[in-house]
Structure 1
Amino acid sequence: MSTLKKLAVASAALGLLAASSSGVFAQKRYDPGASDTEIKIGNIMPYSGPASAYGVIGKTEEAYFKKINAEGGINGRKINFISYDDAYSPPKTVEQARKLVESDEVLLVFNPLGTPPNTAIQKYLNSKKVPQLFVATGATKWNDPKAFPWTMGWQPNYQSEAQIYARYILKNKPDAKIAVLYQNDDYGKDYLKGFKDGLGAKAASMIVVEESYEVSQPTIDSNIVKLKSLNADVFFNVTTPKFAAQAIKKMNEIGWKPMHFLNNVSASIGSVMKPAGFENSQDIISSAYFKDPTDAQWKNDPGMKAWNEFLDKYYPEANRADGSVMYAYNVAQGLVHVLKACGDDLTRANVMKQAASIKDLQLGGLLPGVKVNTSATDFAPISQVQLMRFKGETWELFGEILSGDVGG
């Protein structure tokens, strides 16, 4: 072969190599917060303030991402988890969200907690086209992909959960006189709306009092005394952990023993039932979509074994009776699923595309039969729950897996 021909062949080979290489590189797409080696995840939690009991969620997520990094990361990239405290104060949430997006340049904001805090940053994050992914609140408004395509919920929505309680009351205590205590914000009002919708035409006659409280109150003792004075025999308790524990204690002190429904965001044994006193918590009804670590039926369950192994190694000081630890474990696994599905296209648009393409995802910490599903028109990943009743020192599940009727 002549020197000229050799040069031509070599040149063609180099051209093919360059073309194929550029094809490989073209497949890698990054937005701020992503690179060949790192994925920056932002998070906002109330590590202080009236909802600080939920701070354990951020700590569990941090531990889980350490586990993922120790095992090689996501497609070879390590997670850099940046979590800030907002004290459950919406103005502070806005400040922290701006810091995460504009200073830290995270790829997405993951699992920020609370309805008022998330409401405060929803328009900002959507205007910046930054995913507000798997928010830690069950408000119905997170399932609105048309108006807010960059915001997605995670847990069953509050209205659906409240409808399920209402249907149970209509079936089992149709002549009930109901007292409702709710937090005076979007979170509390969402539950109240779902509850009234579930009772339907009977809501006006069955609900004898709707009492609201402010999250800034040090105690709700006076609210509970007022509710007892109206002779209600059913109580729908829409409170966060600190106030839920106060309510249960005060009800025992004053001898008020109605049929008691507690919203599932405060069903934690570690942060609510135990501090309130197990003896005071008997027969309270709530709902669940993930496994209760204190329930003996899961002792030999593979998902529970994996959860315990994770905690043994990465978060040994965790309170394993606190449902928030299991909640965080599940939602962190959900994010890992999405990021793995993104492959080398770590753009914000692809994060949302993959988050909206989850099909029958089963996570080890969810109840059997509860699956994660999303679509371009359904931003409510989990929509199923099972009722449970508190007995002894744990919750006992009863009935079938149920779904509410509320969509976006």
Structure 2
Amino acid sequence: MSGIRSVLAPAFAAAAMLSCGAPSGAAEYSKGANDREIRIGHTVPYSGPASAYGAVGLLTAAYYEMINARGGVNGRKIRFISLDDAYNPAKTVEQTRKLVEQDDVFAMIGQVGTVTSSAVQKYLNSRKIPQLLIASGASKWNDPKNYPYSTALYALYEMEGRVFAQYLLKHNPGARVSILIQNDDAGRDYAKGFKDGLGAAAAKMVVRELSYETSDTTIDSQIVALKASGADTLFMMATPKFGAQAIRKIAETGWKPAVYLAAVTASIGTVLQPAGPENAKGFMSAFAFKRADDPLWANTPDVIAYKKFFADWYKSGNISECSNVIAYATAYLTVRLLERCGDNLTRENLLKQATTLSDVELPLLLPGIKVNTSPDDYSPIRQMQIGRFNGASWVMEGELISADMR
């Protein structure tokens, strides 16, 4: 699936959050922006092994449609061009080149995936085209010296791994731990952060570490081998298809480890429900964002607005889907950044706005978590909270855990 979607977000009452009036004098533009529209490029797997993430593109399109219906950003409509890359790096390169060289996009915003976004990082940076708010927490997105035009809107995977490690050391320092990751930058970042967080204890606590390839048919053999290691704890990072497979196989084998799921594996709609929610009861994950379907947040203004958006603009969407939450926050922040640019719609100014965020409160972030970036530190989120799955929803426990990577 691929498409061109025109959407813009309304100027919510968050103007105070990101205040920056339009500069006086004549407007300035880079290619892809003019006094009528702003062209935003995007790639996402609408098909292939990670097609569940296609929800990101669908929600983003709906959000920008809402914004355009309300007049656009500073009088300009957003033309959202979202193409299918099937979670295939070669396809990502092809589609990104099309967006840049044929569609003349102003910026690439909200691309999905570590391996896919990595495939075009050098290309986009060499052309000084912003590659912003990537849906990935790989450490490479916090490298302003070598890749100044690439930023993310995820808690860094290494940081998240450290959060899990801190929790485990506090609650079960004698655990025998197994690790299962996807064999790519994302998986390696998760494993590194987790082991670094365990520190000297890692050598004793980690008894087996395995990986899988996205081209694999199943990961049943890895689960069997990890069970055989004698581990009583599993730390797992997997995309939705493989995460659901792993959870089903754990249940089939009768293995009963304490399971820590990376945030990318914690979706109720695309992982836990296909795996059988009863099979994941008691599993833990780490969160920076609210669960919109959690009764705890039902009466908060941002969740009310989120549900209204679905009712009015995205009726086919799943409120419980984690990917929708990050897509919503990304689209919201994109509009804020464009608003901050005013009439100076140059790629350099957009990058400046994205890398000078101070205590920004985004919709659906957990209380106490704010987004911060600076020209020498692009890591946007530095705190998370552990949640436990009760068979129906994630229940937060304990305090926010900080694991600043600076």
For the aligned pair, the TM-score class normalised by the smaller chain equals over 0.9
**Which residue in 1 is equivalent to 2:117?**
118
What SS class does the counterpart of residue 165 from structure 2 fall into?
helix
CA distance in 2, matches of 1:294, 1:229: 37
CA distance in 2, matches of 1:392, 1:95: 41
The answer (yes or no) to whether the contact 2:36–2:75 under 8 Å persists in 1 is yes
What SS class does the counterpart of residue 250 from structure 2 fall into?
helix
CA distance in 1, matches of 2:400, 2:120: 33
**Which residue in 1 is equivalent to 2:188?**
189
CA distance in 2, matches of 1:278, 1:181: 20
The answer (yes or no) to whether the contact 1:154–1:331 under 8 Å persists in 2 is yes
CA distance in 2, matches of 1:402, 1:70: 40
Give per-residue Cα distances to partners, 1:317-372, cap 9 Å, x unaligned: 10111111111101111111100000000000000001112121112211111111
**Which residue in 2 is equivalent to 1:61?**
60
* Residue 284 of structure 1, CA deviation: 0.5
* Residue 405 of structure 1, CA deviation: 3.0
Whichever residue aligns with residue 176 of structure 1, its letter is A
* Residue 403 of structure 1, CA deviation: 2.0
**Which residue in 2 is equivalent to 1:99?**
98
Aligned length in residues:
384
Whichever residue aligns with residue 328 of structure 1, its letter is A
Whichever residue aligns with residue 210 of structure 1, its letter is E
**Which residue in 1 is equivalent to 2:169?**
170
CA distance in 1, matches of 2:356, 2:30: 20
What SS class does the counterpart of residue 134 from structure 2 fall into?
coil
The answer (yes or no) to whether the contact 2:358–2:371 under 8 Å persists in 1 is yes
Question: What is the TM-score with the length of structure 2 in the denominator?
Answer: 0.93
CA distance in 2, matches of 1:136, 1:318: 18
The equivalences for 1:356-395 within 5 A come to: 356-395=355-394
CA distance in 1, matches of 2:349, 2:400: 32
The answer (yes or no) to whether the contact 2:112–2:134 under 8 Å persists in 1 is yes
CA distance in 1, matches of 2:366, 2:39: 30
Whichever residue aligns with residue 255 of structure 1, its letter is G
**Which residue in 1 is equivalent to 2:26?**
27
Question: Which structure is larger by alpha-carbon Rg, 1 or 2?
Answer: 1
The answer (yes or no) to whether the contact 1:133–1:151 under 8 Å persists in 2 is yes
CA distance in 1, matches of 2:322, 2:32: 31
Q: Which runs of 5+ in 1 are unaligned?
A: 1-23
What SS class does the counterpart of residue 43 from structure 1 fall into?
strand
* Residue 374 of structure 1, CA deviation: 1.2
Whichever residue aligns with residue 271 of structure 1, its letter is T
- Over 2 Å off, 4+ runs: 24-27
Segment drifting more, 325-334 vs 77-86: 325-334
What SS class does the counterpart of residue 134 from structure 1 fall into?
strand
* Residue 301 of structure 1, CA deviation: 1.2
Whichever residue aligns with residue 129 of structure 1, its letter is K
**Which residue in 1 is equivalent to 2:12?**
none
**Which residue in 1 is equivalent to 2:324?**
325
* Residue 27 of structure 1, CA deviation: 3.1
CA distance in 2, matches of 1:343, 1:217: 47
Question: What is the TM-score with the length of structure 1 in the denominator?
Answer: 0.92
Whichever residue aligns with residue 109 of structure 1, its letter is M
1:292 aligns with 2:281: no
Q: Which runs of 5+ in 2 are unaligned?
A: 1-22
The answer (yes or no) to whether the contact 1:138–1:157 under 8 Å persists in 2 is yes
CA distance in 2, matches of 1:115, 1:392: 30
Whichever residue aligns with residue 64 of structure 2, its letter is F
Whichever residue aligns with residue 109 of structure 2, its letter is F
**Which residue in 2 is equivalent to 1:72?**
71
What SS class does the counterpart of residue 119 from structure 2 fall into?
helix
The answer (yes or no) to whether the contact 1:155–1:383 under 8 Å persists in 2 is no
The equivalences for 1:128-143 within 5 A come to: 128-143=127-142
Give per-residue Cα distances to partners, 1:290-333, cap 9 Å, x unaligned: 11022111111111110011111110010111111111101111
What SS class does the counterpart of residue 41 from structure 2 fall into?
strand
Bigger proportion of residues as helix: 1
CA distance in 2, matches of 1:66, 1:193: 40
CA distance in 1, matches of 2:281, 2:293: 15
Whichever residue aligns with residue 135 of structure 1, its letter is I
**Which residue in 2 is equivalent to 1:405?**
404
Whichever residue aligns with residue 122 of structure 2, its letter is K
Give per-residue Cα distances to partners, 1:75-134, cap 9 Å, x unaligned: 000000000111111111111111111110000001111111111111100000000001
Whichever residue aligns with residue 144 of structure 1, its letter is D
CA distance in 2, matches of 1:235, 1:241: 17
**Which residue in 2 is equivalent to 1:179?**
178
The answer (yes or no) to whether the contact 2:292–2:364 under 8 Å persists in 1 is no
Whichever residue aligns with residue 72 of structure 1, its letter is G
Give per-residue Cα distances to partners, 1:117-165, cap 9 Å, x unaligned: 1111111000000000011100011011111110111110000100111
1:268 aligns with 2:267: yes
* Residue 26 of structure 1, CA deviation: 4.5
What SS class does the counterpart of residue 27 from structure 1 fall into?
coil
- Taking only aligned residues, the RMSD between alpha carbons, in angstroms, comes to 1.1
